[in-house]
Amino acid sequence: MTSHPSRGGSTPGSSAYPGPPRILTFSRGEQQVSETAVSPHGILVALRAEVTASGGNRDAAPVSVTLDVPDSLRIEADGDVIRRLLTPLLGRSVAAAGRAAASPSPREVLVTAVGYPDRIEIEFADSGSGLTPGERNSLPRGLSSADPRESTDPLLDDLLRQATSIGATLTAMECPEGGSAVTLCLPIRRTALRRAA
């Protein structure tokens, strides 16, 4: 798992601290849409309850899901759109942690969110065995040298399309200490979000 290397030392009072979380505003066309402020924390708390209630493999130790997502973080957006992005990302991380080989290390998922001047990043890190070959081949260009004949992961392919449709990005990486991390990056600039309809 990772604690997101770019966030090291970004604590209140340090020079790298980006300040309080920013508000992301979605707009359609030239007319800004006035929508209810959505809390990623609230959505993720509900999703965590759903995922942990579903049980999964009863013979294995349960997967622990920890949320390090500020409750104060708000996004001016359609809550259904944000939920459609967050649901499979959390589900994928829990499944990956659940596939971890039996070992003394815990089966866990850590979800973190940070606001930057130009974006909001939500990272899903798991203690699983790393990215599958299909997930590696679904990575954006520049992060993967996938052969077009290689199979990709349909879940990540669909998430990439959804993220791109609202001007967001999705990246994944193997964590040096084990497991994998998938990061959803939502831009703050309205011009990048005008494609969302």
Write the CB contacts of 186 (distance below 8 Å, at least 6 apart in sequence).
24, 75, 119, 120, 121, 122, 166, 168
Which amino acid does the sequence have at 126?
Answer: D
What is the Cα–Cα distance from 120 to 69, expressed in whole angstroms? 11
Residue 65 has a pLDDT of: 94
CATH number of 22-193: 3.30.565.10
Q: How many C-beta neighbours within 10 Å does residue 171 have?
A: 17
Cα–Cα nearest to 144, from 170, 179, 177, 122: 170
If pLDDT is split at 50, 70 and 90, which confidence band does 91 have? very high
Percent of the chain having pLDDT more than 70?
A: 65
Nearest of 194, 181, 50, 74 to residue 123 by alpha carbon: 181
Domain coordinates of the chain in residue numbers?
22-193
**Higher-pLDDT residue of 110, 76:** 110
Average pLDDT, the chain: 74
pLDDT of residue 45: 95
Which tens digit of pLDDT belongs to each residue from 129-176? 888 888 888 876 444 444 555 788 888 889 988 888 888 889 899 988
What angle, 0 to 180 degrees and rounded to 10, lies between the N-to-C axes of helices 154-165 and 79-98?
Answer: 150
CB atoms within 10 A of CB 50: 11
